[in-house]
Structure 1
Amino acid sequence: MRFATYLHDGRKQAGVLDDERLRPLGTASLIDVLGDLPGAAALAGPAGPHVSEVRLLAPLQPPTVRDFVTFEEHVEGMRAGSGVPEQWYAAPTFYFGNPYAVIGPHDDVPVPPGSELLDFELEVAAVISREGRDLTPEQARDHIAGYTIFNDWSARDLQTAEMAVGLGPCKGKDTATTLGPWLVTPDELEHHRDADGLLHLELTAEVNGRVVGSDLLSNMSWTFEEMVAYASRGTAVRPGDVLGSGTCGNGGCLAELWGRGAERHPLRPGDVVTLTVEGIGAVSTTVVPGAEVKPLPRARRRPRRTITP
């Protein structure tokens, strides 16, 4: 099954896709029904608007966003020949993204203020269906509601500057994260699963109609179930949490190509980025001008003072 959140006649609505038409679920948020999507679909209303008559939003507004880095080829490219850190192989590392930055599958993306090196990142995300803590990978499978396309927009110059401090990525990933077009339930993709439990799906990235990257989701080094288990270690994952696969290899982002020697051509206003994932769909986004930078002072170098007893 495929679920969506959409605007129709000025109203926000969640629905299930049925032969190019959306059947309303009677709720504005998919998070309300993630624990029982088959039940929600069974109770959905009659066929409503055609998908061409609505504005698709992000399938959900997640409470948290974790973005992993599970593609070895991507790490190699980003490190420009310096090799993959041995620690990378120890666990599926992630950072927390900004849930307020989540946008829909066809929403414009503004250039982040102060950035001149905007990049896309082609990923797939799993969405959590119900709460769990300290899960095993086997248990984690029952906590995945479905999958969606994830575009982790990145201001590479801002990212590089802040990570020099030893933190981040932060502001370099803060402007936009595209999700969509659908939340696709695991049963729809089960026949793509290989012997290692990985989903064998074709991924393609295009800029202005030209293919710049392609890969297989099964080139991930961890399964989504393993990622969910790791995310739940010592804490809870909850309904609506989004876990990104990390950027695929072989041109899953421009920076990887730059790291392998390609000439730098960052995204500019007017560029259209289209990401396609087999079995899930496609998202297509236009880059638009962003806001001007509101200047801040540099750090104040002040004399150190102590409290006098």
Structure 2
Amino acid sequence: MKFCTFSHPARGTMRPGVLTSDGAVIVDLGDAFPEMLSILKGGEAAMARVRDLHAKAEIRVPLSEAALHAPVPVPEQIRDSMLFEKHVQQAMEQIARMRHPVLGPWLVKLGMVKVAPAWYRMPIYYKSNRFSVIGPDGDVIWPRYSQVMDFELELGFFLGKKGKDIQPSEARDHIFGFTVFNDFSARDAQSIEMRSMLGPCKGKDFDTGNSMGPFLVTTDEIGDPYNLRMQARVNGETWCDSNSSTIHHKFEDLLARVSADETVHPGEFFGSGTVGDGCGLEHGRYLKDGDVVELEVEKIGVLRNRVVRQK
């Protein structure tokens, strides 16, 4: 199933919905569930109710007439990680070139800029601001303290089941579904923070900095999450055309790592980190005022946002 949070002039406030099988109509679930989180937390009983409404509900809205928001407007938690080796390697190489304009290119050419051994030992992650989430076609407001804005093409998942000390073999049972994630980044602020041995902080945490959507697609409809085409376009120009198969650390290993001696809850979100070639940093190119970023992941859809400088 493909879930969403939408609004429509005839229905008023934001409401949870699920697409019909042809993808053209949203079944309004708002009279049964106040928000998407209530479905994620409701377990099998909630899903049984959704399936019944999917077949029988009378309130249906054409997708073309609805405004889509982030599938879960305020997640219970946001954790983002770095699971793709190519991104980590290329980002480190580009940072070396920027910080050391003369020596950096030579270090990269000689193969002396390498991913830290610790990265290979375990999935690493940080926590982001769960209140700064926007959805499809929402404007990303460029923070005033930054001059260098970037996007990041990611795949993410929401939990639908509580757990602790989850084994990798059990992890898939805890995942409700997947969505597209754009972790917008103020690269200049992030660079300073990371040199200070703590962060990221304001490099990531600003209003509208986390974009998700357009749909939250259940695991059964996704099938294999490690065989999804992932693309990024800026103003229609393709900057990235990759695949989730290039992932190094699997989602199951990430969830096992996070849940070690720590309870995780339905409604929490986990980002994959950027796929290789999936951000401007790796290309040495960044966003400009008014740029439109489109991230597309197979079986989920296109997450589109415009970057806007404050006047």
Same fold per superposition (TM over 0.5):
yes
Report the secondary structure of 2:213's partner residue: strand
Indicate the larger mover: 118-127 or 24-33. 24-33
What corresponds to 2:99 in structure 1? Answer: none
- Deviation string for 1:54-83 (max 9, x for gaps)? 111100021110001000000011111411
Q: What is the distance in 1 between the residues matched to 2:176 and 2:134?
A: 19
What corresponds to 2:102 in structure 1? Answer: none
| 1:6/1:54 contact within 8 Å kept | yes
| 1:21/1:47 contact within 8 Å kept | no
| 1:184/1:280 contact within 8 Å kept | yes
**Could you tell me the TM-score, scaled by structure 2's length?**
0.86
What corresponds to 1:115 in structure 2? Answer: 146
Q: What is the distance in 2 between the residues matched to 1:285 and 1:225?
A: 29
Q: What is the distance in 1 between the residues matched to 2:299 and 2:157?
A: 14
What corresponds to 1:144 in structure 2? Answer: 175
What corresponds to 1:43 in structure 2? Answer: 52
What corresponds to 2:87 in structure 1? Answer: 74
What corresponds to 2:100 in structure 1? Answer: none
| 2:292/2:307 contact within 8 Å kept | yes
| Matched positions, count | 278
What corresponds to 2:136 in structure 1? Answer: 105
Q: What is the distance in 2 between the residues matched to 1:227 and 1:288?
A: 33
Alignment of 1:21-36 (within 5 A): 21-25=25-29, 26-34=32-40, 35-36=43-44
| 2:39/2:47 contact within 8 Å kept | no
Report the secondary structure of 1:89's partner residue: helix
Q: What is the distance in 1 between the residues matched to 2:70 and 2:310?
A: 21
| 1:68/1:92 contact within 8 Å kept | yes
Say whether residues 1:211 and 2:261 are aligned partners.
no
What corresponds to 1:245 in structure 2? Answer: 272
Structure 1 residue 47: deviation in Å? 4.9
| Identical positions, percent | 40
Q: For 1:189, which of 214, 219, 222 is the aligned residue? A: 222
Which blocks of at least 5 consecutive residues in structure 2 are unaligned?
94-107
Letter of the 2:297 partner, please give it.
V
Structure 1 residue 161: deviation in Å? 0.9
| 1:116/1:266 contact within 8 Å kept | no
RMSD: 1.3
| 2:28/2:61 contact within 8 Å kept | no
Q: What is the distance in 2 between the residues matched to 1:209 and 1:120?
A: 14
Q: What is the distance in 1 between the residues matched to 2:8 and 2:254?
A: 35
| 1:33/1:40 contact within 8 Å kept | no
Alignment of 1:231-270 (within 5 A): 231-249=258-276, 251-258=277-284, 265-270=285-290
| 1:12/1:28 contact within 8 Å kept | no
Report the secondary structure of 2:203's partner residue: helix
Q: What is the distance in 2 between the residues matched to 1:59 and 1:40?
A: 19
